[in-house]
Amino acid sequence: MADESAWHRRVFYGSVWFMKVIESGKINLYQMIVTTSNYGANGMWYNNYNTEWFVSKATDTAIMIKGALFGRQKRMNELADYLADNKALYDKYMVDDKFGFDQIRNLVHLYNTGMPYVEPKPKQEKEDTEGFNPNQ
């Protein structure tokens, strides 16, 4: 089921893309799921899905920081540049030396809000009290 609460923004990355907004603030964090399709050696059709994350700061031009591209250290350094004006957060990032999706989201959220990211609780479905009652 698609996330109905998600919103998208026009972002420039080589050309114009509409990307899902993960975090919005001084640093924006975007997500794009890229699908590649091809035939396998057995003649079967395969779809591959790659999640890519992008950041922007004070502009609508984004850089990829997480995805299928090589150059992990270069992308880590680019994120460090975005965090550099928040010394405490920058130092934490450099000491932790982690670059997973959860770590990136937490860092951007912490930069924007001053608070760690907390996963929202899932919405509970309302119990249907007016529906079918087998005891009637």
Rg (CA), the chain: 20
Q: How confident is the model at residue 4 (pLDDT cuts 50, 70, 90)?
A: low
Among all chains, which residue has been given the structure tokens 């603030």?
25
Contact 32, 8 (CB under 8 A): no
Confidence of residue 127 (pLDDT cuts 50, 70, 90): low
Q: Per residue in 45-97, pLDDT tens?
A: 888 888 999 999 988 899 999 887 678 888 899 999 999 999 999 999 999 98
Rounded mean pLDDT of 112-120?
Answer: 86
DSSP letter, residue 6: -
Domain positions in the chain: 8-113
Enumerate the β-bridge partners of residue 36.
Answer: 48
Share of the chain above pLDDT 70, in %: 86
More confident: 99 or 121: 99
Residue with tokens 């998208």: 8
The span from the CA of 94 to the CA of 134, in Å, is 61
